[in-house]
Amino acid sequence: MATTKKLNPGKVTRFVIVMICLVTLGIFGRGVFERHFFNTRMTVIPNVTNLNEKEAIKYLKEAGLKVKVIHSKTEKVPLNVVHNQDPRPGKKVKVNRVIKIWVNNGQNQVVPNIIGLELLEARSKLKGQNIQIETIDYYPSNQKYNTILGVYPKPGTKLEINQKISILVSSQQMIDPSVMPNLIGLDLNDARELAKQVGINIQNVSYTSDQTLPLNTIISTNPAAGARIQHGQNVSVVINTVSRARKRQTTEEIINNSKSDINKNGIEKAIDDTINKIDNSETENKGTNTNTTNSGSSGGSNSNSSGHSSSQGNNSSSQQSPPQNEDGE
């Protein structure tokens, strides 16, 4: 007699569940596989250059494309406007293709206030605003090591396209408030800042000119560097500059030029007076000769000896004129 095996309801249920899962995974996996490897749907990349970022993303998504935004600096387009895309517009690509767009974020940036921050924190803040550091200079101070002491351009300054900044960082705590710091080589503003940290005041500022030393920098101090000082003490500094020396030189040149003009005008006036005297003397001599000639014509009965004597007198008078002119000159 044949025996029949009874089916276990639990096993049947598990088998059905497994089959349903396999069929579901097969259908889903086939869709994913076909979508990635057998995607035949095509679309045309729209031109989104010169559009703002939001509009560009909207148009690309409507075309069935994905978007990757890259922020960069440029002066070709205004802020938050697309200035480049890849692949190029008009190209046919598969749906869901990733399109890269470059958006300008380099205008209207201002230097943040990072003074007092630790270098690592300052770097992070600058990186978040896409501001690059050009140089980092270290300077001893009483601030904590790697603390930002200054930034150039100063905080709040608008940056040009691709402009970088420079920062001044504390190297180590080397300032003794009871010792005069070395201010030589600094400009007046930096010297005042350092003096403020020590607790002294730059009260007297004088200027000198030395072509062998850097301009607009402190070349000596009183007290000298290393001397013992007290908190709140006033100090004096000497700054090397050429502006005042040039001003004095210009004034001297003006005076010398004025003297030269005066001498020149005096000489010219003397020459003019001499020429006028010579002209007047020649005019008087011509008048004398004319009167003598008229006198000889009216007295024709006079003897030749008298005429000869008169002629000699005229010649004598004529020959004496040049010496008179020289005396007048």
CA–CA gap between residue 120 and residue 124 (Å, rounded): 6
The CA-atom distances, in angstroms, between 56 and each of 81, 95, 97, 204, 328 are 9, 17, 15, 62, 99
Q: What is the pLDDT of residue 193?
A: 84
CA–CA gap between residue 188 and residue 215 (Å, rounded): 11
The answer to whether 324 touches 285, Cβ cutoff 8 Å, is: no
The answer to whether 225 touches 180, Cβ cutoff 8 Å, is: yes
For residue 84, the number of C-alpha atoms closer than 13 Å in the C-beta half-sphere is 11
Q: CB burial class (10 A; 0-12, 13-18, 19+) of residue 93?
A: middle
Q: What is the pLDDT of residues 189-233, one digit of tens each?
A: 888 888 888 889 999 999 998 877 777 889 999 999 889 998 899
Query: What fold characterizes domain 109-174?
Result: Trypsin Inhibitor V; Chain A (3.30.10)
CA–CA gap between residue 300 and residue 290 (Å, rounded): 16
Other Cβ atoms closer than 10 A to 134:
10
Mean pLDDT of 275-292: 60
The residue that leads in pLDDT, 255 or 101, is 101
Q: What is the pLDDT of residue 35?
A: 58
Question: Which H or E element spans position 278?
Answer: helix 243-298
CA–CA gap between residue 224 and residue 182 (Å, rounded): 8
Q: What is the pLDDT of residue 82?
A: 93
Q: How confident is the model at residue 293 (pLDDT cuts 50, 70, 90)?
A: very low
The answer to whether 208 touches 238, Cβ cutoff 8 Å, is: yes
CATH class of 42-104: alpha beta
At 107 the three-state DSSP class reads coil
Domains of the chain by residue range: 42-104, 109-174, 175-252
The answer to whether 122 touches 167, Cβ cutoff 8 Å, is: yes
Among the residue ranges 99-108, 136-145, 238-247, the one predicted with the least confidence is: 238-247
pLDDT at 292 over 80: no
- Supply the pTM of this predicted model: 0.30
Mean pLDDT of 130-157: 86
Alpha carbon dihedral 181, 186, 192, 197, in 10-degree steps, equals: -40
Query: Do 175-252 and 42-104 have the same topology in CATH?
Result: yes
The answer to whether 43 touches 96, Cβ cutoff 8 Å, is: no
Q: CB burial class (10 A; 0-12, 13-18, 19+) of residue 233?
A: middle
Q: What is the pLDDT of residues 62-106, one digit of tens each?
A: 999 999 999 887 778 888 899 999 999 999 999 999 999 999 876
CA–CA gap between residue 126 and residue 269 (Å, rounded): 74
CA–CA gap between residue 310 and residue 307 (Å, rounded): 5
Q: Residues in the chain, how many? A: 329
- 175-252 CATH pick, 3.40.190.170, 3.30.10.20, 3.20.20.70, 3.30.365.10: 3.30.10.20
